[in-house]
Chains A and B, each alone.
Chain A
Amino acid sequence: MNELDLYREATRIRALELLLHRYIEEHGFGGFWHPGLGQEGIQAGAVAALREDDYLFYAHRGLGYALAKGMSPVTLLADLFGRTGGSVGGKGGGTVHFVDPERGVLGQGGTVGSNFVLGAGAGISAQMLGTDRVVAIFFGDGAAARGTFHEAALTAAVWKLPLVWICENNGWAISVPIEAQSPTGNIADRAAAYGVPGVIVDGQDPVAVREATLAAVDRARAGEGPTLIEAKTLRVRGHYEGDKQSYREDLGEELEVPRDPLKIMREQGVPAAEADRLDGEAQAEAEAALAEVLAMPEPDPDVITEGVWA
């Protein structure tokens, strides 16, 4: 993916983030929305390194992972608002589950950190079926504490499963800063215990994230096993929209993104005229998607008992 396309994905994610922020401020929201504002560069950059049929286990911060993987913003917003046009048939809402098997989007657990073991399993089937698909598993510095990471990493490394772990380290596990939850400053340090590469990358630089992920994806596809990428980023908004962040003293302006990945890409050479055009297109796409979703019907209560059994 070239730089202009990468910028397009990042600004599409940003447009959705800002639109949702405005909508929730004006209208409220029935569920919990975990904004990913400021982390667009990781989501766009890492997913840009994946093939369309590679598997994706996303994290809960934003919609960007699946948007970059090719899912429609209409589908994703419909899932977020629990409307019929979503991928999960109206059962979504708030912290979202969305899914698109055609594009390898395999969903998310509501229990943070549960994707490590599931993702390893997708890697096993790729290995067994000989599909050379790679599994990208996103998580935060908070989820990195889960025992499921250790249990999955241990065997995944021994079996050389085709996995790429992408840690979005925004420095906060809800209200606890990284210094108070990790004995070392870097999540990537833990890779050494499993004998796999631990790579630290600037999460505000989408191109750097893409390059680091490409190397990890190549390694995984070649049968050399997992890589742990730690993308250093920051959390602009609260853990969820509405979190006052009373525990933080480092807050800037409400929507200000320090080291904004979009600005960084412009500085790296994306022409301003092109970037402005893509920003405008992204804004229009997001607004049209939201309008379409808000006009969709609520699901029929019949959906409640559908899908329990295959």
Chain B
Amino acid sequence: MGVRPAEGAGAATAAEAPALGYARAINQALGEEMRREERVWMLGQDVGRMGGVFGVTRGLFDEFGAGRVRDTSLNETFIVGAAVGAAMTGTIPVAELQFADFMMIAGDEVFHKMAKWRYMHGAKLSVPMVLRLPTGVLGGVGAEHSQSLEALGMHFPGLKVALPATPADAKGLLKTAIRDPNPVLFFEHKGMYRVKGPVPEDPEFLVPFGEAAVRRAGTSATVVATGLMVPRALAAAEALAAEGIELEVIDPRTLVPLDMETIVGSVEKTGRALVVHEAVRTAGAGAEIAARIQEAAFFALEAPVWRLGALDTSIPQSPDLEQLVIPDKAAIEAAVRELLTL
């Protein structure tokens, strides 16, 4: 498959922490949390002996053994459903589906059992688990292995949704997810697995949920971007800075809970907002964010809130065509320029 060069290196703010890849950062979070708490364990297809189809869990089988790093069959309803059952009985499972798209195969388990079991049963049981979901385009993996489905998690109360865009956040958000008493959908961008950035080594390094990161400060317009769109928005911002346009780029990091305070505060300052995501534009997370911006900051807005997202189409298999479906740096630049004329 035509895997493209890693994007987004250097997206994280400079720090003294050593540089680590996004995938290695996730691996480090898993290892640290399994060492800290013996009730944490993993299951999924090929997560053990192979170390995951993307190599994310490499080495954990050797360290923790087949009892805590469990290779399953090709049975997604079991992977998610068994994690739910194990979570409500005293352990903390981290389940992996090989592709986020496979949530649909285990839809009942994800959207009903994970999300609602506690609620339906009078809060007498909890479901402390994480479902790891490699998401986004990778380069030629096609319509059923490339989607960005994070908005679905926002539509089922009871699920938290994390979407890290840097190696440090991948580690810190995953550790927080594992320690959260609620079920978490953890969307890790498989096109960013090789992106490197500073990652703190402190085993207590946690990134809190519901706190957006201001990736770049600016006054001309606010760009709210998630996942792979964060480095693309930052690249667009650098290009526009040469023209005197200063974008403020905000990465919400978690969609549930969603830090609207930071977003609204920024929009009140800039008066203009563009929401960018890789998911299909229609009914994506951007629609919700845009609606909430206008509810909270209507009178501060100098222009309508705009959204950029994937075209309303399936992802074509061709790696070249695929890139034309999702927003790129040029599309973000063009959208900002036009937004500033309104």
Contacts and interface: CB of A to CB of B under 8 A. Distances in A.
Interface of A: 55, 86-89, 91, 97-101, 106-107, 109-111, 114, 116-126, 128-129, 147-148, 150-152, 154-155, 158-159, 306-310
B296 interface: no
A88 B124 contact: yes
Contact of A101 (B108, B113, B120, B124): B124
B121 A99 contact: yes
A121 B43 CA distance: 11
B333 to A, nearest CB: 39
Nearest to B256: A309
Given A110-B112, A114-B113, A310-B118, A155 B82 contact: yes
Interface stretch (B2-10, B69-77, B299-307, B323-331): B69-77
A121 B86 contact: yes
12 contacts: A88-B121, A91-B120, A97-B121, A99-B122, A111-B108, A117-B77, A118-B113, A128-B91, A151-B75, A308-B118, A310-B126, A310-B127
Q: Which of B88, B112, B158 has the most CB of A within 10 A?
A: B88
Contact of B121 (A107, A111, A125, A155): A107
Given A148-B81, A310-B118, A101 B86 contact: no
B128 interface: yes
Interface string B115-155: 00111111111111000000000000000000000000000
A100 B120 CA distance: 13
A110 B120 contact: yes
Contacts of B182: 309-310
A122 B88 contact: yes
Contacts of A123: 85
Q: Which of B70, B85, B109, B124 has the most CB of A within 10 A?
A: B85
Nearest to A119: B85
Interface of B: 39, 41, 67-68, 70, 72-73, 75-78, 80-91, 93, 108-109, 112-113, 117-128, 157-158, 181-182
A125 B86 contact: yes
B119 A107 contact: no
B87 to A, nearest CB: 7
A87 B120 CA distance: 10
Q: Which of B67, B78, B82 has the most CB of A within 10 A?
A: B82
A123 B89 CA distance: 9
B120 A121 contact: no
A76 to B, nearest CB: 13
B118 A151 contact: no
A120 B81 contact: yes
A264 to B, nearest CB: 34
Contact of B77 (A89, A101, A151): A151
Contacts of B39: 128-129
Given A121-B84, A122-B89, A152-B78, A307 B112 contact: no
A120 B108 CA distance: 16
A99 B124 contact: yes
A32 B158 CA distance: 25
A310 B128 contact: yes
B72 A107 contact: no
B90 A125 contact: yes
Contacts of A124: 70, 82, 85-86, 91
Contacts of A87: 121-122, 124
A55 B286 CA distance: 43
Nearest to A133: B89
Given A117-B82, A124-B82, A97 B120 contact: yes
A106 B41 CA distance: 21
Contacts of B157: 308
B89 A106 contact: yes
Contacts of A101: 124-125
A230 B325 CA distance: 53
Nearest to B117: A107
A49 to B, nearest CB: 20
Contacts of B126: 310
Contacts of B125: 99, 101, 106-107
B121 A114 contact: no
Given A87-B122, A128-B68, 11 more contacts: A87-B124, A106-B89, A107-B120, A117-B81, A117-B82, A117-B84, A120-B85, A154-B75, A155-B72, A307-B118, A309-B182
